[in-house]
Amino acid sequence: MFSFWAKSLVEKLITLFFISIISFSVVMLAPGDPSEIDPLNPKFTQEDIQRLRKAFDLDKPLPVQYYLFYKKLFTNELRSYKDNQPVLKKITERFLNSLPLFLVGTLLTWCLAFPLGIQAALRRQSLFDRSTTFFSYFFISLPSFFLAYVLIIFIVKVFNVPVIGLQTFGRESVSWWYLINDRIWHLVLPSVLSAIGGIAILSRYVRSQMLEVIEQDYVRTALAKGLPPDTVYYKHALRNALLPFVTMFGLTLPGLIGGSVIIESIFSWPGMGRLGYDAILARDYPLILSLNFIAACLVLVGTFISDLLYMVVDPRISLISESKG
Amino acid sequence: MSQDKEILLEIKNLKTYFRTSQGEIRAVDGINLTLSRGETLGIIGESGCGKTVTSLSIMRLIKPPSGRIAGGQVIFQGKNLLDLPEQAMQKVRGNNIGMIFQEPMTSLNPVFRIGEQIMETLITHRMLSRAEARERTLDIMSKVGIPSPQIRIDEYPHQMSGGMKQRAMIGMAIACNPQVLIADEPTTALDVTMQAQIINLLYQLQQEMGMSILLITHDLGVIAEMAHQVAVMYASRVVEQATVEELFRQPLHPYTIGLFHSLPCLGGRGRRLEAIQGQVPNPLNFPPGCKFWPRCSLADQRCRQEEPDLVQIDSNRWVACWRVSKAGGDRIKGLPCSSSRDDGKEGKVIISLQEDSQGQQKDGQLALVEGERLDDRGSALIGSGPYSPARSFEKIIEVRNLRKFFPIRRGFWRRTKAVVKAVDGLSLSINHGQTLGLVGESGCGKTTVGRLILRLMEPTSGDVLFKGTSLYSLKGEALRKIRQKMQIIFQDPYSSLNPRLTVGNIVGEALTAHGIARGRERRALVENLFAKVGLSPSYINRYPHEFSGGQRQRIGIARALALSPEFIVCDEAVSALDVSIQAQIINLLQKLQEEMNLSYLFIAHNLAVVEHISHKIAIMYLGQIVEQMPADKLVKIAAHPYTLALLSSNPVTDPSLRGRQPPLSGDVPSPINLPPGCRFYPRCPRAEKRCREENPELLEREKDHWVRCWLC
């Protein structure tokens, strides 16, 4: 067991190292330069450009830049090119904005997709199954930005709540009760929208997985034992049907970054996705690379969590990893 | 003998239909069966005949909406189970009627502990607390022969061997002392030695608990060992029903007779298997009239038009055949697998029964109309003649001291912690135009040997010579050339053919790859191959899923033959097939051997099949050959305790020999930690001190008979 942890950690660190090199090279070798961000500005002289390049270490060879960049990242000295703010501070701020959106969205997705998918599988070919199938494909094919605008107009017209941004502009000094209400209103719509597509896709997966599992011999065995159908389906079948989703769950973690650029843009939500998007447009290298690095870490942590969860839920896994590796 | 017994379960005119996109399938079409208290009713038939659907119908486990029970009654203790509300039915399942399934590997839930799965039944039906249920589960586990239940109770299914899992399944099914146990192919997925153990266990449990067993199997041997009454099913109906003694003395329906004749039996070499031609008809388009007539050599006009009913022709016998009546005439004589093994001759009346004299009188009345004799069909000696060293001109394959070790690496630095000795110092040779049979339980390294000989794997040491050339010294073009001469036929005809290629492409692929033929020329060659293996050349544009198991195996053979090989490895090539199809494939392999002078390495676990097809037999145990001898002498001179155990594990088609002790207990030990002395000593009934200390050499006991044993 310990050797599994140690090995996995070492493997992940090595992967991270290579990711850092590749992402650094991709960003640095891409055409364009942060110093050329405003080439038409007549006040921007050649000397200014050289000064900027020097200040940002852009005049040094790439390996040195690589070293300096990660050194600054780990010592929290990294500052944005754009506004000279500490990068980690900016990211933390935006992260805290994104977190509720991500949590509510993910929670909604997983809490609704599973019951829907399971019921559809158990009542195969029924009206319920057919209608969930229809609506799933309907929402999968509907572009989220279109749906978003329709819903925004609807909510503003009916409830008179302007659901743009984190909260209603200019009402910071009202009572706390009103403030919480306002925050929730602003949170619900983007979360629901980001969840809809997820529910539609995930419930399809759950349905097909469940259909496959209830055809298995061990489900027949459980029925032949005289267990009540609920025990058979929700204990014997579901536990097996869940296995592949454990992997998927770990991989939702990177969704924290960039998972909802479209939704955040539509709702002017100051989250991580938009931070990255704006940083790319501004050629704000430190911010791009930091976000990239954090995303890589999240992916690796996600896969690690998946591996661990898998070992918990599937007793066969630990043995296989023992005997083979 | 059953009339005076109490009837426990009665099936009346049961009909189970399935709706498919191509039409309705009548999987069970009006069958009647009775099961008496304390007795075993065997249902025998090939796959697709409706055996399993019958058992699932009794348990009401037919899945809607496609499947439905269209009519009939299942009366259990006076109640019609088909009328019970679902909740009441749940109380019957697992409580009054227990069920075990064919595949112990897939029938247990992989994510729950064994103990949990047995306890569940007790908690549901007996309302026991968890602690009480655990206590009872431990009892049950020792009752079904699971060693150290205290440890095993907390293990997961994947930590147990196939035999152990089947024992756990049985434990689960008998936990609540059911009156009826339905056993659906309980031993099919197991090795012969394990099969003997499980049959014995079921037999003991029945004696002890007095339950009735509904035994579903395709294996006549299992029927002979277990059943009291037998129903033969063909194409959704029962075609013959009798007591086991009657049936084995004198099967009457042509299909039943065909099943007996399809079966290779120990000591019955040199007989051509009289396979039933064709295959079980597709239930979507059953032939009109008797469903068996397209495969029946006795069919006449009436058989083609009217379907016969199951009629009682004797106190213990029902048959559904126009050609069998009570009137006089010639009896069909001779079943090939007689219990008296010494006289391997044809045409014997079988099995000495206690009530013989009485039985004989009754037989006089039974007859086949017009006295056609089924056993008159050609039974000339073909194929595997006796093994004679004089006939073998040269060795086509010579294996010298072959070893294949798999290291097991563990821990952070992946250091080798142990070694699996899959093949350990194996030498053998195969002569031109002959067959070497390689037999052993699963996990003994048979398949690895086959792969090593074809160089599909690199050995740890040793060499394989093909016509005197060392295979492992060859490279590039020379190796490609020699590969043409060596081919393989796989066990599973379903997974070994690529589902995305037409069968014509599958067979012809090698011709293109080796630059032998393309285009029209290739097509002609492929059509030729199809004809050779008994398939219509018009099939070549179809895909594998359009074929039955037997046809697919023929395609597999055609694929192997494409490059005109001289040597073919048949890796369990007939194990997955039904008896009648198995006989067809065995006959085909023998015919091809004669025509093309092929040499086979025939890997299998069924001794009777191997004995039938081989010239020489090698018995393998844990990576080593323990005995080797000419096939025709197997029964007479077998000396190694393991060979003897395999021989007596083979189910005998003789009901009077039932209740034997299984010769071997336990599983094949793991090849990781081999015992220091003789590898077989932990299971050997005769092991002595010396066996524990030193592994014996393979020595020639007499001419052509090699044994690895201190005691032989």
Task: Find the CB nearest B111 among A314, A322, A325.
Answer: A314
Question: Tokens for B204?
Answer: 């003991």
> In Å, how far from its chain's centre is CA B495?
18
Q: What is the percentage of chain B residues whose pLDDT exceeds 90?
A: 50
Task: Flag if B61 and A224 touch (Cβ within 8 Å).
Answer: yes
Contact by Cβ (8 Å): B707, B639: yes
The three-class DSSP label of residue B612 is helix
pLDDT in tens, B513-522: 888 888 899 9
Indicate the residue type of B105. M
Rounded distance, CA B154 to CA A313, Å? 16
B271 against A147, higher pLDDT: A147
Task: Find the CB nearest B90 among A7, A226, A325.
Answer: A226
Task: Flag if B110 and A223 touch (Cβ within 8 Å).
Answer: no
Find residues 21-80 of chain A whose CB sits inside 8 Å of chain B: none
Q: In this structure, how many other beta carbons lie within 10 angstroms of the beta carbon of residue A310?
A: 18
Task: Flag if A226 and B106 touch (Cβ within 8 Å).
Answer: no
Q: What is the mean pLDDT of residues B264-269?
A: 76
Asked if pLDDT for residue A26 goes beyond 70, the answer is yes
Question: Does the bond joining B65 to the residue before it have cis omega, within 30 degrees of 0?
Answer: yes
Asked if pLDDT for residue B372 goes beyond 60, the answer is no
Question: Tokens for B706?
Answer: 């090699």
Q: What is the mean pLDDT of residues B516-529?
A: 91
pLDDT score for A35: 66
Apex CA A269: angle with CA A268 and CA A274, to 5°? Answer: 90
pLDDT score for B27: 92
Partners of residue A218 in chain B, C-beta under 8 Å = 106-110
pLDDT score for B349: 30
Partners of residue B158 in chain A, C-beta under 8 Å = 315-316, 319
Contact by Cβ (8 Å): A152, A240: no
* Res. A40 pLDDT band, cuts 50 70 90: low
Rounded distance, CA B72 to CA A199, Å? 45
A306 against B343, higher pLDDT: A306
Sequence-distant (≥ 6) Cβ neighbours of residue A187 within 8 angstroms: A100, A101, A104
Task: Flag if B410 and A322 touch (Cβ within 8 Å).
Answer: yes
Rounded distance, CA B478 to CA B467, Å? 14
pLDDT score for B91: 93
Question: Which residues face B69 on adjacent strands?
Answer: B16
Asked if pLDDT for residue B691 goes beyond 70, the answer is yes
- If you average pLDDT over each of B259-263, B501-505, B667-671, which comes out highest? B501-505
Task: Flag if B108 and A315 touch (Cβ within 8 Å).
Answer: no
Backbone angles phi, psi at B295, to 5 degrees: -105, 0
* Distance of residue B117 Cα from the nearest chain A Cα, in angstroms: 9
Contact by Cβ (8 Å): B567, B499: no
Of B243, B240, B241, the closest CA to residue B227 belongs to B243
A143 against B370, higher pLDDT: A143
Task: Find the CB nearest A221 among B91, B101, B408.
Answer: B101
Rounded distance, CA B532 to CA A287, Å? 71
B270 against B482, higher pLDDT: B482
Task: Flag if B412 and A3 touch (Cβ within 8 Å).
Answer: yes
pLDDT score for B214: 96
* Distance of residue B93 Cα from the nearest chain A Cα, in angstroms: 4
pLDDT in tens, B311-349: 888 888 999 998 886 543 344 545 555 443 333 333 333
pLDDT score for B265: 77
Residue B194, chain A, CB below 8 Å: the answer is no
* Closest residue in B to A215 (Cα–Cα): B63
Q: What is the mean pLDDT of residues B675-690?
A: 86
Sequence-distant (≥ 6) Cβ neighbours of residue B99 within 8 angstroms: A221, A224, B55, B59, B93, B173, B181, B182, B183, B184
pLDDT score for A193: 87
Q: What is the percentage of chain B residues whose pLDDT exceeds 70?
A: 89
pLDDT score for B23: 87
Task: Flag if A221 and B124 touch (Cβ within 8 Å).
Answer: no
* Distance of residue A302 Cα from the nearest chain B Cα, in angstroms: 22
Partners of residue B412 in chain A, C-beta under 8 Å = 3, 6-7
Residue A1, chain B, CB below 8 Å: the answer is no
Asked if pLDDT for residue B194 goes beyond 50, the answer is yes
Q: Of all residues in chain B, what percent are helix, strand and coil, respectively (each to 5)?
A: 35, 25, 40
Rounded distance, CA A214 to CA A239, Å? 11
pLDDT score for B215: 96
Asked if pLDDT for residue B481 goes beyond 70, the answer is yes
The three-class DSSP label of residue B234 is strand
In chain A, what are the domains? 87-279 (1.10.3720.10)
pLDDT score for A284: 87
Rounded distance, CA B106 to CA B100, Å? 12
Residue A126, chain B, CB below 8 Å: the answer is no
Partners of residue A246 in chain B, C-beta under 8 Å = none
Q: DSSP characters for B357-418?
A: HHHHHHHTT-EEGGG--GGGS-----SS----TTT--SEEEEEEEEEEEEEEEETTTTEEEE
pLDDT score for B417: 75
pLDDT score for A158: 85
* Res. A319 pLDDT band, cuts 50 70 90: very low
Rounded distance, CA B98 to CA B209, Å? 13
ipTM over the 0.90 cut-off:
no
pLDDT in tens, B18-50: 998 888 899 999 999 999 999 999 999 888 889
Task: Flag if A225 and B172 touch (Cβ within 8 Å).
Answer: yes
Write down how long chain A is.
325
Apex CA B380: angle with CA B375 and CA B382, to 5°? Answer: 135
Backbone angles phi, psi at B500, to 5 degrees: -95, -5
Residue B672, chain A, CB below 8 Å: the answer is no
Q: What is the mean pLDDT of residues B185-198?
A: 87
Asked if pLDDT for residue B422 goes beyond 50, the answer is yes
Residue A245, chain B, CB below 8 Å: the answer is no
Rounded distance, CA B58 to CA B41, Å? 14
Asked if pLDDT for residue A212 goes beyond 60, the answer is yes
Asked if pLDDT for residue B55 goes beyond 90, the answer is yes
Task: Find the CB nearest B107 among A221, A239, A316.
Answer: A221
Asked if pLDDT for residue B362 goes beyond 50, the answer is no
* Closest residue in A to B407 (Cα–Cα): A324
Confidence (pTM): 0.82
Mean pLDDT of chain A: 85
A31 against B41, higher pLDDT: B41
Asked if pLDDT for residue B371 goes beyond 50, the answer is no
Our CA dihedral for A161, A164, A165, A166, rounded to 10 degrees, sits at 30
Q: How many CB pairs under 8 A join A and B?
A: 90
Task: Flag if A322 and B412 touch (Cβ within 8 Å).
Answer: no
In the β-sheet with B415-431, what is the strand arrangement from edge to edge? B415-431, B395-410, B461-466, B469-470
pLDDT score for B90: 94
Q: What is the mean pLDDT of residues A98-112?
A: 90
Question: Tokens for A88?
Answer: 């980690």
* Closest residue in A to B178 (Cα–Cα): A225
Rounded distance, CA B577 to CA B393, Å? 34
pLDDT in tens, B138-172: 999 999 999 899 999 999 998 888 889 999 999 99
Whose structure tokens read 């050599």? B297
Out of A101-110, A207-216, B411-420, which region has the weakest mean confidence (pLDDT)? B411-420
pLDDT in tens, B546-586: 888 889 999 999 999 999 999 999 998 888 888 888 999 99
B422: alpha, beta or left, given left = phi > 0 and alpha = psi -120 to 50?
A: alpha
Sequence-distant (≥ 6) Cβ neighbours of residue B134 within 8 angstroms: B115, B119, B153
